[in-house]
Amino acid sequence: MSKTKEQEPIELHGDIWKHIQPGEVILDARGITKRYPGGVLANDHIDFKIRAGEIHAILGENGAGKTTLMSILFGLLQPDEGEIYVRGLKVRFRSPEDAIKMGIGMVHQHRKLVPAHTVLENILLGHPRSRGVINVKEAEEEVVAIAERYGFKVDPRARVWQLTEGEKQVVEIVKALYRGAKILILDEPTSALTPVETERLLESIETMTNEALGVVPFITHKLPMVLTISDHVTILRRGKVVDHIETAKATEQILAQKMVGRPVIFDLQKPPSQPGEPVIQVENLSAKNNKGVIALKNVSFTVREGEILGIAGVAGNGQHELAETIFGMRPAETGKIIFNGQDITQLSILDRWKLGMGYTPAERTEVGSIGDFSLVENVAMNYYFDKRYNHSGFLDYGRLRGLTEQIIEEYDVATPGPDVKIQTLSGGNLQKIIMGRVLSRQPKLVIANLPAQGLDVGATEFVQRKLLEARSNRAAVILISEDLDEILSLSDWIAPMYEGHIVDIIPAAEAKKDIIGAMIAGLHQEN
Amino acid sequence: MTVAGYQIRLQRRASLPGWKAAMFSILAILFGLLLFSFIFLQADQSPKEIYKQIFRYAFFNSYGLRLTINRFIFLAMASYAFIIPFRAGLWNIGMPGQLYMGALAAFGVVYLLGGKTGDLAVAQPVVLVLMVIASMVAGALIGGIAGLLKGKWNVNEIVVTMMLNFIAFYFVSFMIKDGGPFMNVGGRGESFELPEAARAPLIAGFPYTLVMVFVLMIVLYVLFSRMSLGYQIRAFGKSPSAARYAGINPFKISVLVFMLGGALAGLAGYHYFGAVPGVYKIARTYGYFGDLSFYGMICGLISLGNPIATLFIALLFGGLSIGGRYAQGKLHLGFGVDYALMGVLMISLVAFQFFYNYQITFSKKPTGK
């Protein structure tokens, strides 16, 4: 690698960020181009500027090139063409270390933390200071000070595995700030957050921009969020910049149309409910969470054929435990689960699949799929035991391949073919495969855990339509979501959860968003 | 990087065809041999001559070839004993213990049939079948302990198999040394010799266990690429949490892979002490074969758990260990040269696996930049 002066900006870090004026261009990317093997043009001459004190949203569907662009800005990838200037200084990042030293911080959508370590250890990990001896007490004080300055609550001694998604994100942000980030890149920052956490994050971001930090959230699906928080939006489609807009002049419709390239319908067609026999009856069910504490407390409900029960709630209020307990991935401490009249509380997960239950987990990459496996092998996860695909111990891979191709076709999955590893798919396409695989079994009960979380507009619409289709096919559906709009538009019954209890079960026709919002925040008074 | 106007880049591979993987392994071996020639040159020896001696003895000398094949069978079985749990993401470090128990069980059958002192009352095929079954069952049982503890209480399988090695090692010692039930009439710290009827038949001068190796290769290949059980093992190996979600029973898989692995290691024990011509007893130096079985791990790791590739690696290392020792004696090379050579080859093979994931591309650098 030829060395020129521009590549050694490391020592300049202290100087370069002095005397920032709000509104000044602090990062200028010109003509960024990245071509992947196979000729995919992920970024095609992208130009954009970030100004100090500005929130600059970058909008685009899955596969529009956002992640590539972000990786280039953070030094994870090197562009084939184009230049990056930080405060007028031309830089070339060979690795994230270079980018960090230039004041660029990044918070990934998929958290990159060590679960077994404490918050403080994670924050110190990789920090230039941690090479020698660390004064832990001093570092802890500094971390707490930074967190307080921006209004974050973190316990530096908590272990990361004990944290909720929202708390983990806070850790990542504090980590970036502790390293001196002046430009903070947030990848889908609100996708895993609850409404309350989102609000808190936005307040903190505002504090940051007041201090003339540049913040770049990459947002795909939460268009209202873009409208409320950002100052500028850059819209990408197929690797190209479609438009730069001042947010004040944009509407949800305009943004969606530019992003998708066609008008988007926001209303789902939901036929009237025709409930049939009860499919699942949960009685007095309790379960523990991963920390061994009772997190699901005496929950009871019934879902009938052709009905969707929407479980609303802020993450960590027992919804996850509820889904896993019904599906047998977590033992029930008390209570009974009755499926089609049969007590299945003690049955294995395999038996539940065979009886016609289906579960789409929230953790799509860790639980819902096997990244190293091909699409066909991932589809086999729900079929390896099925007599139609398993002939006395031998798997019928030919038939599985056919089924996979059918799912790819029906769900409009963007993939080169059924034999590629599933880890090459984007989030939306991965979820389509998981949904397709589970729904193709025509389950009598579908438990969908955060089915549209983190998906772009198109994929969200698709997944939601498929859930309604399952309902029309007489399945009972339990929908777990943190998005109240999603709950309200899909459910027949709504069960808000708070601290492990179901607060109430309300028919969707009578449900009001503000009341449910109060219930999941624990503000609802029993009358 | 730019060299002479060409831009050289490293790119991640999307996929790798099997023939290319094989080609990289061959390149790796050639590279390793080349690298090691410098050590021979340093000692004023002709690398060409030494390699000629090694390979000629290991693969083209009828006596050497037989030794190579005996060792190849042993290594292949030990490798498979490692590979099956490995594909489930579990580490079997217990091949020594499993093969000791396998050997003991095979000799136990003969002992119970009265073969220690006199001739056997049962026909040869019956004895052989019983010996094979006993060795596999014994290996499976001791291996199963690790699987059971792993599956039930998540006890680290590496520690358990390692500790079981010690138990088995001293158990063999108790059984065959002076005063032990299997002791040789002449003492000497070795077991009794197998009577004629318990000795394995030879096929073209090679033990019949050679056939078993090829059968095992096919069985394992089919298991992993076609069968539901193999699929479950692989799924569990890639992602235990996803496997559990899919209804795969972690306990069942843990116990099963260790029992299967242990059975094959037990068979390796039967092979070396019960089927290799001229041995037919548990030798005083049985611990050497326990150590040798660790090469099974290396073969399994180098071949990335592929049962077909494993055989080539096992044959190479089987041959090198025989030929290397021979050349060392004949040409008066330094002590340990044979193992050093194998070590260099292993490192080279592992290093070349880099190219399984990455490729280097050349492109003409655009001018004016």
ipTM of the prediction: 0.86
Say if CB A130 and CB A121 are below 8 A apart.
Answer: no
Contact: B238, A359; criterion CB under 8 Å = no
Residue A407 sits at the vertex; the CA angle it makes with A403 and A409, to the nearest 5 degrees, is: 115
Condensed to tens digits (0 to 9), the pLDDT of residues B246-263 reads 999 999 999 999 999 999
Residue A177 CB-density burial (10 A; 0-12 exposed, 13-18 middle, 19+ buried): buried
Number of domains in chain B: 1
Q: Which residue of B has its CA nearest to A364?
A: B242
Contact: B242, A350; criterion CB under 8 Å = no
Contact: A381, B14; criterion CB under 8 Å = no
Out of A112-126, A182-196, B120-134, B213-227, least confident range: A182-196
- The minimal CB distance from A381 to the residues B12, B226, B235 is found for B235
Could you tell me if residue B208 is inside a domain? Answer: yes
- The full set of domains in chain A, from first to last, is 1-7+24-102+213-264 (3.40.50.300), 104-181 (no CATH), 266-356+444-527 (3.40.50.300), 364-442 (no CATH)
* Paired tokens of B114: 């009265």
Could you tell me if residue B288 is inside a domain? Answer: yes
Contacts of B241 in chain A (CB under 8 A): 363, 366-367
Q: What is the pLDDT of residue A10?
A: 43
Q: What is the pLDDT of residue B364?
A: 67
Residue A338 sits at the vertex; the CA angle it makes with A335 and A339, to the nearest 5 degrees, is: 150
Could you tell me if residue B62 is inside a domain? Answer: no
Residues 6 or more apart from A509 whose CB is under 8 A from it? none
Say if CB B114 and CB B195 are below 8 A apart.
Answer: no
Could you tell me if residue B360 is inside a domain? Answer: no
Helix B124-153 with B250-270: angle, nearest 10 deg: 150
Compare B150 and A212 and report the one with higher pLDDT: B150
Single-letter code of the amino acid located at A152? F
Q: What is the pLDDT of residue B365?
A: 55
Say if CB B53 and CB B251 are below 8 A apart.
Answer: no
Contacts of A424 in chain B (CB under 8 A): 14
Pairing between β-strand A183-187 and β-strand A214-219 as defined by DSSP bridges: parallel
Q: Which residue of A has its CA nearest to B248?
A: A350
How many other CB atoms are found less than 10 A from the CB of residue A133?
A: 7
Question: Rounded to a whole number, what is the distance in Å from the CA of A518 to chain B's nearest CA?
Answer: 34
Contact: B231, A349; criterion CB under 8 Å = no
Closest CA to B281 of B104, B39, B42, B78: B104
- The minimal CB distance from A381 to the residues B11, B12, B246 is found for B246
The runs of H, that is alpha helices, within A222-336 are 223-229, 252-260, 319-326
Q: What is the pLDDT of residue B80?
A: 97
Q: Testing the interface with B: which of A3, A348, A350, A384 to mutate, by most B Cβ within 10 A?
A: A384
> In the beta sheet, which residues pair with residue B363?
B7
Contacts of B227 in chain A (CB under 8 A): 393-395
Could you tell me if residue B349 is inside a domain? Answer: no
DSSP state of B184: -
Is residue A300 classed as helix, strand or coil in its secondary structure? Answer: strand
Contact: B238, A38; criterion CB under 8 Å = no
Contact: A384, B238; criterion CB under 8 Å = no
Question: Rounded to a whole number, what is the distance in Å from the CA of B1 to chain A's nearest CA?
Answer: 4
Q: What is the pLDDT of residue B164?
A: 96
**Considering Cα of B149, then B151, then B152, then B154, what sign does the dihedral take?**
positive
Q: What is the pLDDT of residue B369?
A: 38
Question: Rounded to a whole number, what is the distance in Å from the CA of B247 to chain A's nearest CA?
Answer: 4
- The minimal CB distance from A367 to the residues B1, B2, B241 is found for B241
- The minimal CB distance from B228 to the residues A1, A2, A395 is found for A395
Compare B91 and A12 and report the one with higher pLDDT: B91
Mean pLDDT to the nearest integer, B223-233: 96
Structural domain including B292 reads 68-312
Contacts of A352 in chain B (CB under 8 A): 247
- The minimal CB distance from A382 to the residues B226, B228, B246 is found for B246
Contacts of A35 in chain B (CB under 8 A): none
Contact: A372, B244; criterion CB under 8 Å = no
Query: Which residue positions in chain A have pLDDT lower than 50?
Result: 1-12, 527
Closest CA to A278 of A502, A490, A503, A474: A474
Could you tell me if residue B142 is inside a domain? Answer: yes
* Paired tokens of A179: 């390293």
Say if CB A372 and CB A424 are below 8 A apart.
Answer: no
Phi/psi class of residue A103: alpha, beta or left (left: φ > 0; alpha: ψ in -120 to 50)? left
Could you tell me if residue B261 is inside a domain? Answer: yes
Contact: B14, A352; criterion CB under 8 Å = no
Contacts of B226 in chain A (CB under 8 A): 394-395, 397
Q: Which residue of B has its CA nearest to A365?
A: B242
Share of chain B above pLDDT 90, in %: 62
Contact: A384, B227; criterion CB under 8 Å = no
d(CA B222, CA B328): 40
The CB-based long-range contact list for B328-331 (8 Å cut-off, 24+ gap) reads B330/B53, B331/B45, B331/B49, B331/B50, B331/B53
Q: Number of A to B CB contacts under 8 A, please give it.
A: 77
Contacts of A351 in chain B (CB under 8 A): 247
Pairing between β-strand A232-237 and β-strand A357-360 as defined by DSSP bridges: unpaired
Contact: B248, A38; criterion CB under 8 Å = no
Q: Which residue of B has its CA nearest to A378?
A: B235
Contacts of B14 in chain A (CB under 8 A): 37-38, 420, 424
Could you tell me if residue B108 is inside a domain? Answer: yes
Q: What is the pLDDT of residue A148?
A: 86
Residue A523 CB-density burial (10 A; 0-12 exposed, 13-18 middle, 19+ buried): exposed
Contact: A371, B238; criterion CB under 8 Å = yes
Contact: A424, B14; criterion CB under 8 Å = yes
Residue A276 sits at the vertex; the CA angle it makes with A272 and A361, to the nearest 5 degrees, is: 80
**Would you place residue B300 in the very low, low, confident or very high pLDDT band (cuts 50, 70, 90)?**
very high
Q: What is the pLDDT of residue A2?
A: 41
Helix H, strand E, coil C: the string for A315-329 is CCCCHHHHHHHHCCC
Contacts of A361 in chain B (CB under 8 A): 245
Is residue A287 classed as helix, strand or coil in its secondary structure? Answer: strand
Beta strand residue intervals within B100-195, DSSP E: none
Q: What is the pLDDT of residue A270?
A: 82
Condensed to tens digits (0 to 9), the pLDDT of residues A235-291 reads 888 888 888 888 888 888 788 888 877 766 666 678 888 889 999 999 999 999 988
Q: Which residue of A has its CA nearest to B3?
A: A1
Phi/psi class of residue A234: alpha, beta or left (left: φ > 0; alpha: ψ in -120 to 50)? beta
d(CA A323, CA A308): 14
- The minimal CB distance from A393 to the residues B228, B239, B247 is found for B228
Note the pTM of the prediction, 2 decimals.
Answer: 0.78
d(CA A16, CA A180): 12
Contact: A395, B14; criterion CB under 8 Å = no
Q: What is the pLDDT of residue A264?
A: 65
What's the CATH number where B155 sits?
1.10.3470
Condensed to tens digits (0 to 9), the pLDDT of residues B324-360 reads 999 888 888 888 888 888 899 989 988 888 888 888 8
